[in-house]
Amino acid sequence: MGKEIFIDPKVNPLKGHKSAIVIIVTLIAVIAVMSFSPFVIIVAGERGVLLTLGAPEEKPLGEGLHIVIPYYQKVIKYDVKIQKSTITTEAASKDIQEVKTTVALNYHVVPEKVSKVHQQLGFEYRTTIIEPAMNEVIKAVTAIFTAEELITKRPRVSTQMKEGLKERLVVHNIAVDEFSITNFFFSEKFTDAVEEKQTAEQKFLKAKKDLERIEVEAEQRLASAKAEAQSLALQKESISPELVQLRQIEATIKAIEKWNGVLPNVTGGAMPFIDVKAIGRQ
């Protein structure tokens, strides 16, 4: 007789296998949900272009959580924060001087128009629109001014470039925030000519100031001489015989006050004589 096999009804041999199957199915479900999630989050500084069967919706998705239909809808995110672009462009000035201009532009995509930007430009708008527009505007404005004016009228040059960029970019739904000219680079020949001109102007200004100083000093001396002459004339007019006699008497009195009573020793000539009676009669 064969050997009997006893199976305990309380023990299920498939129990371990069922647990593994449940885990595998759960993982597959999680992966599927994650892969085909109907939820999209738009963070601060972004806008979303909702594509329905590839066609963009006109109104963009704002910041926050949004629900989309997997396979049927898709969201493309665009950065609408302020961005910066810096370029250096070679151009010719009005007086045919070679100029290299370095500029910096701050700009952003108009948030309400990201769908249009996606349709017309895509993600490469910086290289297809921004930088070519910057090059074009720099060359156009540089040609209006002489090389010297580019330096002396720099704020005006910068303003014209900024306005030119605004006009060209607004049609592409890109807004200009700030624009600045970082630097101008000129040819060595022009730079030397500018330095020579500045040196000549400085010498001219110094000579002019020296001449003005000499003229002022001459006028001061002339005024002083005139004042002195007028003073002498007034003194001359005020002199009279009585005034002369009074000054003589004052001098004699001062001499008497200083006399110590001792007559000077005179070896020859007449002894000085003071007419006291004459002083009394005065």
pLDDT tens-digit readout, 71-90 = 899 999 999 999 999 999 99
Q: How far apart are the first and last CA of the chain?
A: 188
Contact partners, residue 38, CB within 8 Å, separation at least 6? 67, 68, 69, 70
d(CA 51, CA 72): 8
Region of poorest pLDDT, from 104-108, 128-132, 221-225? 221-225
What domains does the chain contain, in order, with CATH numbers?
15-79 (no CATH), 83-186 (3.30.479.30)
Tell me which DSSP letter residue 54 carries: T
Phi/psi at 47 (nearest 5 deg)? Answer: -135, 150
Give me the pLDDT at residue 276, please.
47
d(CA 282, CA 277): 9
pLDDT interval class at 26 (50, 70, 90): confident
* Averaged pLDDT of the chain: 81
pTM greater than 0.75: no
pLDDT interval class at 279 (50, 70, 90): very low
Task: State the amino acid at position 92 in one-letter form.
Answer: A
Strands 73-79 and 83-92: unpaired
Say how many C-beta atoms besides its own lie within 10 A of residue 93's C-beta: 20
